[in-house]
Amino acid sequence: MQFLSYLINGISLGSVYALIALGYTMVYGIAKMLNFAHGDVIMIGSYVVFFAFGSAGMNPVLAIVLSMVVCTVLGVTIERVAYRPLREAPSLAVLITAIGVSYLLQQVAQLAWSSNPKSFTSVVSGMKPISLFDGQLTISAETVVTIIACVIIMVALIWFVNHTSAGHAMQAVSEDRGAAQLMGVNVNATISLTFAIGSALAAVAGALLCSSYPTLQPTTGAMPGIKAFVAAVFGGIGSIPGAFLGGILLGIIENLSKAYISTQLSDAIVFLVLVVVLIVKPTGLLGKKVNVKV
């Protein structure tokens, strides 16, 4: 029974990683860059929810929607101002810029809201935990809501990518930017849309993450950001189902190693698994083999 509880909590944590990993993997697939500022967008989103819901007493759903709007604007602006001018630049320049943006967001948050941790009120604090097997297994409302939110978002996103014209355009740009342009796809608009979706999901992930782990500070986004990046690589970067699978597995591995091996070593184990997977399958679990036809 205890194992089941660890497993479910792992899936829940993994769902958050999956939501963040989607932002990494979609941006990588379409813009061919690693947006290391993604984790910090989550942190900003969490602050928005903290102030709107926790301090001002706004309806939690409205607070999350507000946070999604703020993060979308932020993500699109970051792309427009910091990354777009570097579209033709070497990828290393873009990577360094992304790291720069990441620190910029953390420092701005520190100036604005100080580095003192804030105690985040769970967005589902009104809901009761679910009790199963005569109370032997208790699942918190946060856990349930997180998993359900993740599944809904996942299904919606896969549907969007496979069944809408904008989704097809995203796939086309991700495969061959030049050929997509020849079809009349506006690449800049497609990249903006990708950042918008990724950042909106980051806002949701932030609210869910801080509801389960209620300490909010300017560095809150950094570690989950890195782990979600690991999840994206683990599942096969560029692949949406890969990000989902990678995120969930990572959450489970992390939680089970915390429970059965060592709390301190759990992060080390997570990264060790990544190394092993990459040695065995360098493209990640669901990563596509790059076929180069000459």
Residue with tokens 């097809």: 168
| Minimum separation from the CB atom of position 289 to another protein (A) | 11
Closest CA to 110 of 53, 178, 47, 61: 47
Q: Quick one: tokens of 127?
A: 């809901």
Which of residues 175 and 282 has its CB atom nearest to another protein in the complex?
Answer: 175
80 or 288: CB nearest another protein: 288
Helix axes 91-113, 38-49, angle to 10 degrees: 20
* Cβ nearer to another protein, comparing 4 with 183: 183
284 vs 294: CA distance, rounded Å = 25
The C-alpha atoms of residue 95 and residue 53 are separated, in whole angstroms, by 34
Residue 152 structure tokens: 């809904």
Residues in contact with another protein by the rule CB under 8 A: 165, 168-169, 171-172, 175-176, 178-187, 288, 291, 293
Q: Between residues 11 and 173, which has the closer beta carbon with respect to another protein? A: 173
Mode of pairing for the β-strands spanning 118-119 and 130-132: unpaired
Q: For residue 283, give every residue at least 6 positions away whose Cβ sits within 8 Å of its Cβ, in sequence order, or none.
A: 236, 289, 290
CB 171 to another protein: min, Å: 6
C-beta neighbour count of 248 within 10 angstroms: 24
> Cβ 288 to another protein, closest distance in Å?
7
Closest approach, Cβ 291 to another protein, in A, equals: 7
Distance of closest approach, residue 290 Cβ to another protein, in angstroms: 10
Return the structure tokens found at 97.
């810029």
| Cβ nearer to another protein, comparing 22 with 172 | 172
Least spacing, CB of residue 179 vs another protein, in Å = 4
Helix ranges (DSSP H) in 50-140: 60-78, 91-113
Q: How far is the CB of 84 from another protein (least distance, A)?
A: 14
Task: Tell the smallest beta-carbon distance from residue 12 to another protein (Å).
Answer: 31
- Beta-carbon neighbour count of residue 293 at 10 Å? 3
Cβ proximity to another protein: between 214 and 241 the closer is 241
| Spatial contact of 1 and 137, defined as CB atoms under 8 Å apart | yes
DSSP secondary structure code for residue 116 in this structure: S
Judged by beta carbon, residue 12 or residue 174, the one nearer another protein is 174
CA distances from 163 to 156, 158, 169 (A): 10, 8, 11
Please identify, using beta-carbon distances, which residue of 16 and 172 lies nearer to another protein: 172
